[in-house]
Amino acid sequence: MKAHTMFDWERGERTGVPEVVLAEHKSIEQLSDIATDAIDRGRPLLMTRLTPAQIEGLTHLPLSFDPLARTATLNAPSPTADACAVGIVTAGTSDLPVAMEAANSAAFLGLKPRVFADVGVAGLWRLQGVIDEIRTFPILIAVAGMEGALFSVLAGLVRAPVIAVPTSVGYGVAQGGQAALHSALASCSPGLVVVNIDNGFGAAAAARKIALSFMQFQTLSDAPGRVG
């Protein structure tokens, strides 16, 4: 690796979530060097927030790109049969870029994501039509812009922890995602946690941490009792 980057290859072992590349403000040369290092090491890699120019400049490398999500993966692990499922619920179609960043990140982190798109509360029947299936997921990520009403409504209908991702979709007082962020933080629905605006990766990382806690708790619960 060249001097511009000191990549933390051991972060996944320490924390359960590996270092992921926030690409947006890096040069194509820097991203290429990081990817080449991962290739040489035979390590998986996830890049987020890629610009169209960056994607075009990296096509010579064996990366899998998702232009909608603005992500790229290398040697992405396949989910195991017992991987934890996570439901990703979007308020509108405009929220899909952030939702797909969350989905791709979740898959990279060993989870099994399922996206429920365009089921915002402005047409409440859409959410009602899929709520029974949504309730089967042990972890949920809700992605919404504008006024962020989906967060409180969804968290009030399910047992699973809900991770709210405010998006910058909106205009006027909702511009930049501030209204959705404040709505999520001020929610009266218990069990709702919040990540930063447009932070699909952060939501996936939180879901991964919750899933790891599930597995650790289950392991402890299944352990044979000790005789004193």
**How confident is the model over 28-83, as pLDDT tens digits?**
999 999 999 889 888 999 999 999 999 999 999 999 999 999 999 998 888 777 88
Only one residue has tokens 């619960």, namely 221
Domain boundary pick from 53, 74, 95? 74
Same domain as 23, residue 130? no
Whichever domain contains 137, its CATH number is 3.40.50.1970
Same domain as 91, residue 70? no
User: What per-residue confidence (pLDDT) applies to 227?
Assistant: 41
- Structural domain containing residue 60: 11-74
- Of the two residues 124 and 228, the one the predictor is more confident about is 124
Same domain as 15, residue 127? no
Same domain as 94, residue 62? no
Q: Which residues pair with 88 in a beta bridge?
A: 115, 141
Same domain as 209, residue 100? yes
- Of the two residues 79 and 84, the one the predictor is more confident about is 84
User: What per-residue confidence (pLDDT) applies to 32?
Assistant: 94
Same domain as 93, residue 149? yes
Under the banding of pLDDT at 50, 70 and 90, the label for residue 226 is very low
Look at residue 186 and tell me if it is in a domain.
Answer: yes
Q: How many CB atoms lie within 10 A of CB 82?
A: 7
Look at residue 26 and tell me if it is in a domain.
Answer: yes
User: What per-residue confidence (pLDDT) applies to 216?
Assistant: 65
**Helix, strand, or coil here: 139?**
strand
Look at residue 222 and tell me if it is in a domain.
Answer: no
**How confident is the model over 129-177, as pLDDT tens digits?**
999 999 999 999 999 999 999 999 999 999 999 999 999 998 998 889 9
Domain boundary pick from 74, 100, 120? 74
In the predicted model, is pLDDT for residue 217 greater than 70?
no
Same domain as 167, residue 127? yes
- How many domains is the chain built from? 2
- Cβ-contact 95, 144 below 8 angstroms: yes
In the predicted model, is pLDDT for residue 221 greater than 70?
no
Same domain as 195, residue 114? yes
- Cross-sheet strand order for the sheet of 64-66: 21-22, 45-48, 71-74, 64-66
Q: Which pTM value belongs to this model?
A: 0.88
Look at residue 3 and tell me if it is in a domain.
Answer: no
Same domain as 184, residue 160? yes
- Of the two residues 19 and 86, the one the predictor is more confident about is 86
Look at residue 228 and tell me if it is in a domain.
Answer: no
